[in-house]
Amino acid sequence: MRAPAAPVSRLPMAASVRTTSSESKPTFGAKTTSRPLALAERFEAVRAQTEHLCEPLDTEDYVVSSMADVSPTKWHLAHTSWFFETFILGPHAPEYVSPNPRYAYLFNSYYVQAGERHCRAMRGLVTRPTVREVFEYRAHVNEAMRELILRVEGDPTHPVHALVELGLNHEQQHQELLVTDIKHVFWMNPLRPVYRERPEEPARAKTASKWKSFSGGVHRIGHQGDGFAFDNEGPAHREFLEDFKLASRLVTNGEYLDFINDGGYKRSELWLSPGLAMVQDGGWEAPFYWERAGDSWTEFTLAGTRAVAPDEPVCHVSYYEADAFARWSGKQLPTEAQWEIAAKDVLVEGTFVESERFHPAPVSVQANESGELAQMYGDVWQWTQSAYVGYPGFKPDTGAIGEYNGKWMADQWVLRGASCATPQSHARLTYRNFFPSDARWQFMGIRLANHA
């Protein structure tokens, strides 16, 4: 049986629209000729896109949690509905009644101020509500949200507008997690199922990365101006940079294979101490989802197991691996300030979830030959050497919403750009993703930096 029919009307997917409202507003330098989506249209498009991503799944696929970091697809569908129910419908639609008050406990994630929560590691043990009941819950929330948005749409100053934008951006984050989580679920299945078929592609000739130079000095980074941003993207502030260079494209599988073949995972001088311990204890010898196949390597993708393509960007590497590769290369990872200054005039283009490739793509020959920056957005999140901390003057939002980002500012690193699982309208110049040093299951890759 395929995914239960979604009880909401299908609208054009986010892939077919470009907006300039809130989160979807293009970042600095991006251009658009499409009209902005009204709040109601955007709500419908984002909610429908989540369910569109579920279409390749069977009922059994919705309920599995394959490790502590992976939530069941069913939970993502319900949690994003709980978010609208808890933070918007509860305070602003007094007539709203939840279909089950216990959902507040079951589908809270980490919002301590919002109440008690079910244990994250046990989400995969919850068989009820059923998948069908979760879709019915989404329909119930959708209908109430439509009525509320209709009431407030004529008043752009109403607080519901900002909360809906937050909720939609929150759901887009979970769209990405839904894709990366189901990849891990399928990887753990010995049958290695295919999520979406993708034709094989011929390998391209190996080409060298080029370097683009940038002037140092005092630069202003962080979110500024109109449009949605998470609280951790501000306030805008000044940072001093020395002159630097940034690689014109992402590090490829072929380049990473050179690192492996040179004994990269065995050379202690290349690794941070906890990273070396992780390599030795975990038996790491290649990126996550790679497996030896005789004298070569295969890579598990959402289109099934493939031979490692040397021209594709390397992905599913931890901060430890990215840092070790940079040391081996005689280079370093960029800081997030370097990345942002370099990307400020780059269009928000790349391989996003709307392409339905669900895997990073090789850089085009033309882009690589030009020497201009390519693959800054989409394909893979790019590790930086910047610790995830608050910017000068950062203050989290008040209440449970303030727990969204600020409480995680410890022992994590910033990643920039976006990935092939990210909605294009969710990417922007100042976006700060963050993960701990050993995380690998997301589409994480490497871009090198160097001194001028």
> pLDDT digit string (tens) for 416-426?
999 999 999 99
Instruction: Read off the pLDDT of residues 342-397 as tens digits, 9 standing for 90 and up.
Output: 999 999 999 999 999 999 999 998 888 898 999 999 999 999 999 999 999 998 87
In a domain, 125, yes or no: yes
Measured distance CA(126)–CA(77) in Å, rounded: 14
Note whether 171 and 251 are same-domain residues: no
Q: Provide the pLDDT for residue 36.
A: 58
pLDDT class of 146 with cuts at 50, 70, 90: very high
Q: Provide the pLDDT for residue 33.
A: 39
Calculate the average pLDDT of the chain: 91
Q: Provide the pLDDT for residue 325.
A: 98
In a domain, 5, yes or no: no
Q: Provide the pLDDT for residue 28.
A: 29
Note whether 378 and 232 are same-domain residues: yes
Note whether 247 and 182 are same-domain residues: no
Q: Is the pLDDT of residue 31 over 60?
A: no
In a domain, 307, yes or no: yes
Q: Provide the pLDDT for residue 11.
A: 29
Note whether 176 and 256 are same-domain residues: no
Reported for 433-437, long-range contacts at CB under 8 A and 24+ positions apart, including other chains, are 433/381, 434/388, 434/408, 435/319, 436/319, 436/411, 436/412, 437/272, 437/274, 437/275, 437/318, 437/319, 437/320, 437/411, 437/412, 437/413
Say how many domains are in the chain. Answer: 2
Cα-based distances in Å from 154 to 38, 96, 114, 211, 450: 11, 21, 29, 49, 51
Q: Is the pLDDT of residue 5 over 70?
A: no
Measured distance CA(21)–CA(449) in Å, rounded: 33
Instruction: Read off the pLDDT of residues 255-271 as tens digits, 9 standing for 90 and up.
Output: 999 999 999 999 999 99
For 215, counting Cβ atoms within 10 Å of its Cβ (0-12 exposed, 13-18 middle, 19+ buried), the class is exposed
Residue range(s) defining the domain that contains residue 320: 211-451
Measured distance CA(300)–CA(293) in Å, rounded: 12
Phi/psi at 116 (5° precision) = -65, 155
pLDDT class of 16 with cuts at 50, 70, 90: very low
Lowest mean pLDDT among 92-96, 156-160, 189-193, 400-404: 400-404
Helix, coil or strand: residue 130: coil
Instruction: Read off the pLDDT of residues 323-355 as tens digits, 9 standing for 90 and up.
Output: 999 999 999 999 999 999 999 999 999 999 999
Note whether 176 and 305 are same-domain residues: no
In a domain, 380, yes or no: yes
Angle at 414 between CA 253 and CA 45, to 5 degrees: 85
In a domain, 200, yes or no: no
Note whether 119 and 228 are same-domain residues: no
CATH number at residue 419: 3.90.1580.10
Residue scoring higher pLDDT (46 or 21): 46
Q: Provide the pLDDT for residue 15.
A: 29
Cα-Cα-Cα-Cα torsion 123, 124, 127, 130, nearest 10 degrees, comes to: 80
Residue scoring higher pLDDT (414 or 35): 414
User: Which residue in 203, 199, 202, 204 sits closest to 304, CA to CA?
Assistant: 199
Look up the pTM and report it: 0.90
Note whether 181 and 220 are same-domain residues: no
Note whether 418 and 315 are same-domain residues: yes
CATH number at residue 64: 1.20.120
> Residue range 99-125: average pLDDT?
91
> Residue range 87-93: average pLDDT?
97
Q: Provide the pLDDT for residue 203.
A: 76
Note whether 171 and 228 are same-domain residues: no
Note whether 149 and 222 are same-domain residues: no
Measured distance CA(344)–CA(227) in Å, rounded: 16
Domain ends where: 188, 221, 252?
Answer: 188
Note whether 133 and 221 are same-domain residues: no
